[in-house]
Amino acid sequence: MTHRWFSDRVAAFDSSGIRKVFDLASKLDDPINLSIGQPDFDVPDEIKQAAIDAIRTGKNGYSLTQGMPVLLDPLQAHVDASLGHDDRKVFVTSGTSGGLVLAIMTLVNPGDEVIVFDPYFVMYPALVALAGGKCVYVDTYPDFRVDIERLRDAITPRTKVILLNSPANPTGVVATPAETRAVAELAAERDIALISDEIYREFCHEPFASAAEFNDQTIVIEGFSKTYAMTGWRVGYAHGPTEVIEAMTRMQQYSFVCAPQPLQWGAAAADRVDMSGHVAEYRQKRDVFVGGINDLYDVVTPGGAFYAFVGAPWGTATEFVAEAIANNLLIIPGKVFSHRDTHFRVSYAASDQTIRRGIDVLRRLHSDGN
């Protein structure tokens, strides 16, 4: 029963299908957990120590809304050096999700259309609904690649934003530089705002190009959560045209207020940490997982992030996932991320032992369905 006090927008939100699986994991004995979208390693010690030092030396008050100079200044210098735009500003957000919320709320009016590629990150439709906008979905099956003509056909006079995520959650697919360029140039040609969600860019095993390289009006959302296992720290950042970033910063003043100050000091130490070993390790994990099932399952080899989007071999993906969970294997049904119920998401951000246990269950489930 809907409570009479609820606003209409609450109807757009159900408990995340991912969170439901997380809750289930806590109730199972020794689950094979391939559902969690966070690294299985810990925050590097240098970053931890910098945050501890900040706490102990009294850096515990409100941060500047735009971020503390200790973090903001090197981020701005890096963005300036890598892109060379005359008008590009950075600010620190309360997590990458916070950056996405601010971008959507800053740009989208009720009735505006936001183009989202299907499959999509689970938050995108909810955030668009929160702003009163309408999602327009561009199908990317079966290979999860951007088809520029499908995108062009989806544009209407109401189109306000295109939302691009590469490397992508849930598929792990990395848009080629040519695909990214085509999206960026089309957005510029049609005067449509482009939000590029690049949170997984460091976990990339194929050539990657930011949309901002081809369209200087692109709003880029980045962060530290995935690369440095800082998912609970809630420190991200965004950069884009000054006027847009200043509007997002004002929006932050009246919502998130700021990112946690001591954790910004910790994040500032991240540029001294080499994560290439972990990236290489995750490429190996990908190869083990994909190599362990691709003779039986339809799976596009991920080019980045740490997810695989696997075709269910029988039934709907929801039915298949229910059977997997009954066998202690936690995976996410694809309809959480898509209008189709044909695939399931696996996160191989797990120990090698857990991955191999998961492979064993998947191979058995495939045989049980035949």
For residue 70, is it within any domain?
Answer: yes
Give the separation between CA 221 and CA 218, rounded to whole angstroms: 10
153/131 same-domain check? yes
Sign of the C-alpha dihedral computed for residues 237, 240, 243 and 244 taken in this order: negative
For residue 21, is it within any domain?
Answer: yes
Query: For residue 241, how many other CB atoms are within 10 A of its CB?
Result: 17
81/200 same-domain check? yes
Instruction: Return the CATH number at 54.
Output: 3.40.640.10
Q: Give the pLDDT confidence score for residue 201 in this predicted structure.
A: 94
Give 342-360 pLDDT, tens digit per residue.
999 999 999 999 999 999 9
Domain that holds residue 256: 45-272
For residue 239, is it within any domain?
Answer: yes
For residue 193, is it within any domain?
Answer: yes
Mean pLDDT for 35-50 is 94
38/153 same-domain check? no
232/336 same-domain check? no
66/205 same-domain check? yes
For residue 109, is it within any domain?
Answer: yes
Q: Give the pLDDT confidence score for residue 2 in this predicted structure.
A: 58
84/28 same-domain check? no
Q: Give the pLDDT confidence score for residue 22 in this predicted structure.
A: 60
150/279 same-domain check? no
Q: Any idea what DSSP says for residue 217?
A: T
234 near 94, Cβ under 8 Å? yes
Give the separation between CA 171 and CA 345, rounded to whole angstroms: 7
Q: Which residues on neighbouring strands pair with residue 113, listed in sequence order? A: 134, 159
Place of tokens 């200087």: 216
Q: How many domains does the chain have?
A: 2
Instruction: Return the CATH number at 326.
Output: 3.90.1150.10
For residue 3, is it within any domain?
Answer: no
Give 245-282 pLDDT, tens digit per residue.
999 999 999 999 999 999 999 999 999 999 999 999 99
Place of tokens 């100079």: 69
pLDDT at 161 over 90: yes
Q: Decide which of 272, 301, 326 is a domain's last residue.
A: 272
Give 284-324 pLDDT, tens digit per residue.
999 999 999 999 999 999 999 999 999 999 999 999 999 99
Q: Decide which of 272, 290, 320 is a domain's last residue.
A: 272
For residue 326, is it within any domain?
Answer: yes
For residue 183, is it within any domain?
Answer: yes
pLDDT mean across residues, the chain: 93
Q: Give the pLDDT confidence score for residue 18 in this predicted structure.
A: 58
Give the separation between CA 47 and CA 44, rounded to whole angstroms: 6
pLDDT at 17 over 70: no
pLDDT at 122 over 80: yes
Q: Give the pLDDT confidence score for residue 21 in this predicted structure.
A: 63
pLDDT at 370 over 60: no
Interhelix angle 352-368/317-326, nearest 10 degrees: 120
| Torsion angle defined by CA atoms of residues 144, 150, 152 and 154, in that order, rounded to the nearest 10 degrees | -100
Give 56-106 pLDDT, tens digit per residue.
999 999 999 999 999 999 999 999 999 999 999 999 999 999 999 999 999
236/326 same-domain check? no
Q: Give the pLDDT confidence score for residue 7 in this predicted structure.
A: 81
